[in-house]
Amino acid sequence: MTNKSTFIVADDHPLFREALIHAIGNCVSDAEIIEADSLDTLQVVVEANPEADLLLLDLNMPGVSGFSALAYIRSKHQSLPTVIVSAMDDPAVIRRSIQHGASGFIPKSSAIATLERGIRAVLDGEVWIPDDIDLRDDHLDSEEAEIATAISTLTPHQFRVLMMLGEGLLNKQIAFQLGVSEATIKAHVTAILRKMGVNNRTQAVLAVQQLRINAPALLEATSDDQAAT
């Protein structure tokens, strides 16, 4: 690659970010690396670098609820290839990652050589997953797909507020953390409910929970995998 490449590494563990940065350096010379350790910083760096060559994303970061960040980023930045790098490497998790638009899934338990192989494959336009994973149907559960579509209509601020609602925070707590008025948060919540097609914040939280790692769809798929072995 002749032009300087930009990579976003989103993981809340500094040591693993270093491992990813090392793997990137072995794949691409003179790469610009931008780091994120939470949903807040992830949103900022993605918005500032929408033309980045690759996003390496952990599913379990502060402020992130399951596949919600992946679904949101893929809906807003379809040209940004995103690879999930996660310790949660159950086959159902890998399948759902690809179904939500990820270009690859690399288990955190992988050797550096495997990380590099996965990164190179995605940079070459391939979808990379572990060799022993059967993707089966590439379509999401219809309810989960509808929720992901609704989330894609949210603004960055609305998405952040929705994730904080999912953490059980009250409007005044969200307002304090974001440094805005409670009236602003109430307006965001009203817009979120309308876009999500629900009547109250409890229903909105329940909807987002369908994108959790351990959502019912995952539990059913895991049971199927175990029954087949």
Read off the pLDDT band of 221 (50, 70, 90). very low
Q: Locate tokens 């690759």: which residue? A: 54
* Residue 97 covered by a domain: yes
Residue 36: CB atoms within 10 Å: 23
Per DSSP, helices labelled H in the chain are: 14-27, 39-48, 68-76, 91-99, 112-123, 142-152, 156-166, 171-178, 182-196, 201-208, 216-228
Total number of domains constituting the chain: 2
Clarify whether residues 118 and 173 are in a common domain.
no
Q: What is the largest CA-CA distance in the chain?
A: 54
Please indicate, yes or no, whether residues 109 and 10 belong to a single structural domain of this protein.
yes
Are 81 and 49 in contact by the 8 Å Cβ rule? The answer is no
Residues 170 and 69 in one domain: no
Domain boundary among 64, 88, 123: 123
> Which structural domain range is residue 200 located in?
142-211
128, 81 contact by CB (below 8 A): no
Report the C-alpha dihedral over residues 52, 54, 59, 63, rounded to 10 degrees: -10
Same domain, 111 and 156: no
pLDDT tens for 162-178 read 999 998 999 999 999 99
pTM of this structure:
0.84
Summarize pLDDT for 36-59 with one digit per residue, the tens. Answer: 999 999 999 999 998 999 999 998
